[in-house]
Amino acid sequence: MAHGKLNDLTVFVEVVRANGFRAAAKNLKLGAGSVSEAVQRFEDRLGVRLIERTTRAIALTRAGEALYRRSLPALTELDAALEDVLEIGEGLGGTLRLTAPVGTGKLFLDALIADFAVMHPALTIEVIYDERKVDLVSSGADAAIRAETLLDPDTYAIAIGPQHDMVIVAKPSYLEGAKPLSAPQDVTLHDGICFAFGDSGNLAPWSFRTSSGPLTVMPNPRVVSNNVNSILRYAEQGLGLAYLFAATAEPALRSGTLIEVLSGSAEKLPCFSLNYLSKRNVPARLQAFIEFVKARKPTGST
């Protein structure tokens, strides 16, 4: 591809990623007029409209959407290759961008990132905690920490962190007027505070160990949230049973705000995964983090 076309393609991709010409101009350190002209020139060369413009927003045409989805991974790999070249002889540098669920920070990820940062003082690390499932293609993230059920097809993943002990907890006042809990099946008779992977149609299962083997049962979802800290607070308000990481619930259990029910019956939660797009042209910063995570083989539980 001619150098001019590559530059215009880069501008087009940034306009879409920034969701506007002014934001893209700021990111590219160009004038807004120059950015608009580059996209117009690119459209004229291709002979097709890529972006529909209004005074307040932009929208991709079908051709623009197809080009963006195909070109973004290639440009991302090109940027990574250029960064790797600059890092030769200078040690690991650049910016490692990760996205992760909120609860993983306290559970294991903050400590892991701190140790990795000490090993690579020239490296900048961005960790964005967000319960949404972030698109690895369009977000600019190098990798995402995810539960196994949220891994994207045609991507790669390795285990990160330990397995996690889970507990069923409730406020004592909630249990006083509720039906007895003597077996996991009794959970179905109770109100529950449930974790949602993105929306209420995709709730995290409550898994138990029984003499007959693994069992998944769910309470009546009274409150649904995608934030584990919110689930803890709702449980402390007596809104129902909650299925939580033992480490998250431990302070409330110690203080007596919550009590554990069906003790020891909840299954361990599998390790989270470090999810990334490709094994080809992996940026040096991400490859170093992958090797670091592999060396910290998951052991024990939280």
- Assign residue 217 the CATH number of its domain: 3.40.190.290
Mean pLDDT of 247-266: 96
pLDDT tens sequence across 30-73: 888 888 888 989 888 899 999 988 666 788 898 888 888 888 77
159 and 180 both lie in a single domain: no
pLDDT at residue 85 in the model:
58
How far, in Å, CA of 22 to CA of 24, rounded? 5
pLDDT at residue 52 in the model:
87
* Mean pLDDT across the chain: 86
How far, in Å, CA of 164 to CA of 68, rounded? 39
Residue 81 falls inside a structural domain:
no
251 and 286 both lie in a single domain: no
Find all residues with CB under 8 Å of 66, minimum gap 6, and list them.
Answer: none
pLDDT at residue 84 in the model:
59
How far, in Å, CA of 95 to CA of 106, rounded? 22
36 and 113 both lie in a single domain: no
Question: Residue 143's Cα: distance from chain center in Å?
Answer: 8
pLDDT at residue 128 in the model:
92
148 and 189 both lie in a single domain: no
pLDDT at residue 236 in the model:
98
We report the CATH number of the domain holding residue 57 as 1.10.10.10
Q: Is the pLDDT of residue 235 over 90?
A: yes
Residue 190 falls inside a structural domain:
yes
Q: Is the pLDDT of residue 298 over 60?
A: no
Residue 302 falls inside a structural domain:
no
Range of 235's domain? 166-261
Burial class (CB in 10 A: 0-12, 13-18, 19+), 127: middle
How far, in Å, CA of 27 to CA of 178, rounded? 56
105 and 22 both lie in a single domain: no
Q: Is the pLDDT of residue 90 over 70?
A: no
pLDDT at residue 277 in the model:
85
pLDDT at residue 301 in the model:
41
pLDDT tens sequence across 163-194: 999 999 999 999 998 999 999 999 999 999 99
Half-sphere CA count of 200, side-chain side, radius 13 A = 7
Residue 75 falls inside a structural domain:
no
Mean pLDDT lowest among 48-62, 105-119, 206-220, 283-297: 48-62
Residue 107 falls inside a structural domain:
yes
pLDDT at residue 19 in the model:
86
194 and 233 both lie in a single domain: yes
56 and 24 both lie in a single domain: yes
Instruction: Say how many domains are in the chain.
Output: 3
How far, in Å, CA of 217 to CA of 124, rounded? 43
Residue 5's pLDDT band, with cuts at 50, 70 and 90, is low
Q: What is the pTM of this model?
A: 0.64
Contact 258, 175 (CB under 8 A): no
Residue 63: count other Cβ atoms within 10 Å of its Cβ: 14
Q: Which amino acid is at 160?
A: I
Contact 67, 12 (CB under 8 A): yes
How far, in Å, CA of 140 to CA of 145, rounded? 14
Mean pLDDT lowest among 127-141, 156-170, 229-243: 127-141
pLDDT at residue 73 in the model:
76
Give the Cα-Cα-Cα angle 166, 131, 250 (nearest 5 degrees): 30
Residue 127 pairs with which residues in a beta bridge?
98
How far, in Å, CA of 155 to CA of 79, rounded? 20
Q: Outline where 19-101 has alpha helix (H).
A: 21-28, 32-46, 62-87
Residue 38 falls inside a structural domain:
yes
173 and 240 both lie in a single domain: yes
Residue 51, phi then psi, degrees to nearest 5: -130, 130
Q: Is 158 left (phi over 0), alpha (psi -120 to 50) or beta?
A: beta
43 and 190 both lie in a single domain: no
173 and 184 both lie in a single domain: yes
Q: For residues 253 and 37, which has the higher predicted lDDT (pLDDT)?
A: 253
pLDDT at residue 86 in the model:
54
Mean pLDDT of 98-107: 91
Q: Is the pLDDT of residue 268 over 80?
A: yes
For a pLDDT cut of 70, what percent of the chain falls above it? 88
Residue 210 pairs with which residues in a beta bridge?
213
We report the CATH number of the domain holding residue 148 as 3.40.190.10
Q: For residues 29 and 290, which has the higher predicted lDDT (pLDDT)?
A: 290
Residue 79 falls inside a structural domain:
no
Residue 128 falls inside a structural domain:
yes
